[in-house]
Structure 1
C-alpha cells in the first residue's frame, strides 16, 4: 500500500502543479495581453518556457514547503495520506476560484491544505515556519508590490514627461516582452518549487530522502514540466479579471507592474526563501501602477472581491483538505 500511496501523492502533486500552471498563467501574461504587447498564444508559450526555466533555478522555496508540517510519529501510510489530503484540498480551491475567474494564491492553497489535513490528523504543524515564511511574506509582498509599482510608474511619468506619448507607449509595449518573461521566470522559481517541496515531503515520510538532501533531479524535471504544460493550457477566465476588471492598463503601467512583480518574487525566493503568491504580488502591483492615473481609476469593488478571495484561501483549502483526509482515512482504514 505504501508504494501505491507514494505514486498517488506524486501524481496528485503533478495535477496540482498543472492546475497551478493554468490557474496562474494569467499572472505573467494578463498585462501584456491586455495592452496588446503580445498575442495570447505567444504570451502563453513565452510564459510556459520561462516557467520551466525558472523552476530549475533554485530549491530554497521547496525546502521551506517541505518543513511546514511534520508527520513523524504517525506512521508512513498515515503520513502519506496527510500529504495527499493537503494536495486534494489545494486542488479543490484552485478549481473553485478558477471557475469563478477569481485570482487566488495556489501557494497559500497548498500551505492551507497541508495545515488543514495535519490539524485534523493530529500531526505536527510548524507554526513558527508558517508565520516567518508564509504569513509575514503574504502580508508584505502585496504591500511592497503596490508601493514599488506606484513609485516606478511615477518615475516613468516624470522621466518621459516631455516625450511623445505615442512613442513612449510603443517603446514600453516592446519592453513588456522582457518584463513578462521576467515575471514568468519568477513564477516558475516560486510556484514549481512548491510542488517539488510536497513531493520531497512524501519522500521524507517514507525515508527515501533525508532532511537537508538536495531535491532529486527527477522531481525537479517533472515538476517544471507539469507547471509549464498547465501554463500553456491557459487561464483565460482569470486573465480577463487581471487584465481588464481591475483597471484599463497601458503599456507603461503594464511594464511597471510586471517588472515590480518579478523583482518581489526574486527577492522573496532568493533572500527570504519564502513561498509568496505570484497572484497577490502582480495584482497589487497592477493596482499600484494603475493608481498613478488617479485612485478612482482602480475598480476597488473588484479589488475587494479579490482580497476576500485571498483571505478565504487558507481556511477554505484547509477545510477541503480536512474533508479529504477524513474520506481517505476511512478508505485506507487507518483506524
Structure 2
C-alpha cells in the first residue's frame, strides 16, 4: 500500500462510501419480508444481516473479477479519475432513489457510472460491450423473472402442503424458516454486492500501477469492503424496507419464506458463475412472485411499475451524472476537487431533505399498513406520472396518523 497516491486513496475512500450506501440501500433485500411479518424485530434483523454480509464478502471473488477486468478494459487507458467520476455518479443515484424509497439497483448504478465515465474520457472501445450484455444486461432481465417464478412455485407448493391446517399453527414454523432464509439472502448479498466494490478498488489499483492487471483483490480490500457494506446494512435502509415489506404486496410468513429462499438460490448461483446481477431486482421479483402465489394475493402494480421505471433509468442516469463528472475531472486536479465538492454538496442536500420526514425502525414496528401519499421528490414524482397510484380495492387503507394521505411509494420515502 506504500505506492498508493493521494488520488488513488480518494478513489478507495469513495468506493467504500459507495459500498456503505449499497449496504443501507439494499438491507431491504434480505430483511423486508422478515420485518414485515414480524419474524424479527427491525434492529435485530439488520444486525444479523450486517454480520452475514461481512461473512459473505469472504466467500468468493468471481464477481469482483467481472468488475475489475470484465466490463471495462483495464489496458485502454483507464485512470483513477475516471473511476472516481463513475463512483460519484453511482453514489448520487443511490441516494436519490433511497430518498424516494425506491428499491433501485446499486449494482446497475455502479455499472452505469463506470461505463458513462469511461465512454466520456476514453471512448466506447474501452467498454467490453459483449461482457456488459452477457454478464449485466441479460441477468438484469432474466434474474427477477426467474426469481419470481421460483417464488411463485414455492409459495403454491407451500400452501398446498399446508392445506387443511390452521395458518396460525404453521406461522411459527414459517417464521423460523424466514429467519433462516433471510440469513441466506444476507450471506448471498455479501458474496455478490460487496465484491463489486472490491472489483472497483482493484481496478483503481491496476489503473494506478499498484497491482498487476487481472489480479485478485488484496486481502485488505476484501476486509474493508466487507466492513463498509456491513456497517451500511446495520444502519438500515428503513425507507426501502417499507416499500418492499408493505408497499409492494401483503406478505404472510409462508410467502416470505418462499420469496427469500428463491432469491437466495438465484443470487448464490449467479455469484458462483460471476454474474454481477442486481440483488434488488432478484428480491423484488421474488416478492412479487410470492405475492401472486398465494390465493387471493395481489401485487400493487403501480408501486411495481415505479420500481421497474427506476430500474430502467438507473444505468443511463448514473452514466450521465458520471459522464459529467468525468468531463470535469479530466481538467486536472482542480476538476477532481470540484467533482468531490459537488458530490459532497449533493449528498448533503439529499440527507437534509430526508431529515424533514425521517423513517426509523420505530415506524416499521408500529405501522401495519402503507399509507397514501404525495410524491416525495423528483424521482418519485416522475415515476408516478407514468404509473399513478392504485385506486379501488387495491388501494391501501387510509391511516389515522399525521402522515395519512400519502401514496405507497412516498410513504416509504418520507
TM-score w.r.t. the length of structure 1 is: 0.95
Is 1:68 aligned with 2:64?
A: no
User: Is the 1:61–1:269 Cα contact (8 Å) retained in structure 2?
Assistant: yes
Whole-Å separation in 2 of the counterparts to 1:236 and 1:212: 38
User: Is the 1:71–1:79 Cα contact (8 Å) retained in structure 2?
Assistant: no
| TM-superposed deviation, 1:210 | 2.0
Matches within 5 A, 1:18-29: 18-29=20-31
Is 1:88 aligned with 2:113?
A: no
| TM-superposed deviation, 1:79 | 0.9
Whole-Å separation in 2 of the counterparts to 1:292 and 1:178: 21
Note the alpha carbon deviations across 1:275-296, whole angstroms, 9 max, x for none: 1111000001000010023577
| TM-superposed deviation, 1:70 | 2.3
Structure with greater proportional helix content: 1
Is 1:163 aligned with 2:137?
A: no
Which residue does the alignment assign to 2:45? 43
Whole-Å separation in 2 of the counterparts to 1:262 and 1:49: 16
User: Is the 2:113–2:318 Cα contact (8 Å) retained in structure 1?
Assistant: yes
Show structure 2 runs of 5+ residues with no match: 336-414
Which residue does the alignment assign to 1:113? 113
Note the alpha carbon deviations across 1:56-93, whole angstroms, 9 max, x for none: 1000000001121125353xxx6111111111100010
Matches within 5 A, 1:1-335: 3-66=5-68, 67-74=70-77, 79-123=79-123, 124-270=126-272, 272-294=273-295, 297-332=298-333
| TM-superposed deviation, 1:164 | 2.5
SS in 1 for 2:213: coil
Show structure 1 runs of 5+ residues with no match: none
| TM-superposed deviation, 1:206 | 1.7
SS in 1 for 2:311: helix
Whole-Å separation in 1 of the counterparts to 2:259 and 2:10: 38
Whole-Å separation in 2 of the counterparts to 1:228 and 1:30: 17
Note the alpha carbon deviations across 1:21-55, whole angstroms, 9 max, x for none: 01111111010000000000000100000000001
Whole-Å separation in 2 of the counterparts to 1:296 and 1:216: 47
Q: Say which structure, 1 or 2, has more relative contact order (CA 8 Å, 6+ apart).
A: 1
Note the alpha carbon deviations across 1:85-110, whole angstroms, 9 max, x for none: 11110001000000000000000100
Whole-Å separation in 1 of the counterparts to 2:213 and 2:75: 12
Whole-Å separation in 2 of the counterparts to 1:285 and 1:322: 33
Aligned residue pairs total 330
SS in 2 for 1:330: coil
Whole-Å separation in 2 of the counterparts to 1:69 and 1:106: 18
CA RMSD of aligned residues (A): 1.6
Whole-Å separation in 1 of the counterparts to 2:236 and 2:213: 35
Note the alpha carbon deviations across 1:104-126, whole angstroms, 9 max, x for none: 00001001100000011124001
User: Is the 2:89–2:325 Cα contact (8 Å) retained in structure 1?
Assistant: yes
Which residue does the alignment assign to 2:408? none
